[in-house]
Amino acid sequence: MAIDKKIALITGANRGIGLETARQLGHKGTTVIVAARTLDAAEQTATTLKAEGIDAFAVQLDVTKAADRTAAAKIVTDKFGKLDILINNAGVGAQDGMFNPKTSQTTEEELQTVFGTNLFSVIAVTREFLPLLKKSEGGRIVNLSSVLGSLTLHADPNSPIASIKVFAYDASKTALNAFTIHLANELKDTKIKVNSAHPGWVKTEMGTDQAPMEIVDGAKTSVELALIGPDGPNGRFIHLGSELPW
C-alpha cells in the first residue's frame, strides 16, 4: 500500500449505499475499510471488493456498541496510523416505514432507537476516529443525512417532502445536520472538512422499489464529498453538488 494512498472508513458498508460508496471510492484508488455489524459480513464484503481489484480491509463495527467503536479505532490505528475519510453511512429508518406519517404517537422506544443509531452513534464514532483524522493531510467527514431532515422544506406546505412526516427519522436527520454544522465550526481551523450528504431517494431496503434513483447514483454525493479538495465545501448540506436548505 502506498503511503500517500487515502484511507476511508465507511460504516454500514456491507450493503446498499454503503457498499456502493466503498466500491466507487475503491475504484478511484482509495483504500476502503468496510465496517459492518459482524466481522463475517465485513469480510465477505471485503472479499467481494478485492475481487474487483479494490484495496479493501474488513473491520467489525456495530456503531451502537462502545466496545466495537474502541476496538475498530485501535485496529485502524495499528494498521494504518491515520484516517483520511470517515463516512458515517450506517443508519436506520422509521419503525413503521417511511410513508406512514406519525408525530404525537411516536413512542419513546422508537425515538431512542432511531436517535441512538442516526445521531448518538454517529457522534460517538466520529469522536473515536477524530484523532486519526487529525493525522491526515486533509481529513473528510461525511454524514449521511436526508432531505427529510430539512426544516425549511418541511415547513413549506408546497415542498415535495411536505407530506412525508415521520417524526423520529426526520428529527434524527435534522439533529445530525446540526452536528455537521457544529463540528465543522469546531474544526474550521484544521484541514478537516465536515459535510452532510443527501443521497437521494434510492432503491434500497429503506427507500423501497418505489424510489427513482439507483444505488450507483445514490453513492455519488458521499464519494464527491469524501474527495473534495481544500477549497471544497465545509459545514454544508449537499446533494449531487447542489446545496440543500437546512
Using only the alpha carbons of the chain, give its radius of gyration: 17
Question: Could you give the CA distance from residue 241 to residue 246 in angstroms, rounded to a whole number?
Answer: 15
Question: Could you give the CA distance from residue 74 to residue 244 in angstroms, rounded to a whole number?
Answer: 36
Q: Tens digits of per-residue pLDDT, 145-199?
A: 999 999 999 999 999 999 999 999 999 999 999 999 999 999 999 999 999 999 9
Is residue 49, in this structure, part of any structural domain at all? yes
CATH of residue 196's domain is: 3.40.50.720
More confident residue, 212 or 71: 71
- Give the active site residue among 173, 193, 203, 220: 173
Question: Residue 218: which domain range?
Answer: 7-243
What the block records as the C-alpha cell of 170 is 426526520
Whether residue 57 has pLDDT greater than 90: yes
Asked if 134 is an active-site residue, the reply is no
Is residue 2, in this structure, part of any structural domain at all? no
- Give the active site residue among 6, 134, 165, 169: 169
Question: Could you give the CA distance from residue 49 to residue 211 in angstroms, rounded to a whole number?
Answer: 26
Is residue 1, in this structure, part of any structural domain at all? no
Residue whose entry in the numeric block shows the C-alpha cell 471488493: 49
Q: Among residues 37, 29, 30, 31, which one has the least CA distance to residue 11? A: 37
- Number of structural domains the chain divides into: 1
What is the average per-residue pLDDT within 126-144? 98
In this prediction, residue 112 carries a pLDDT of 98
More confident residue, 42 or 205: 42
* Cα distances (Å, whole numbers) of residue 14 to 43, 122, 126: 9, 17, 19
Q: Tens digits of per-residue pLDDT, 196-224?
A: 999 976 656 555 566 555 888 999 999 99
What the block records as the C-alpha cell of 187 is 474544526
Residue type for position 231? D
Is residue 91, in this structure, part of any structural domain at all? yes
Q: What percent of the chain shows pLDDT beyond 90?
A: 87
Asked if 82 is an active-site residue, the reply is no
For the chain, give the mean pLDDT: 94
Is residue 45, in this structure, part of any structural domain at all? yes
Residue type for position 181? I
What is the average per-residue pLDDT within 93-110? 89
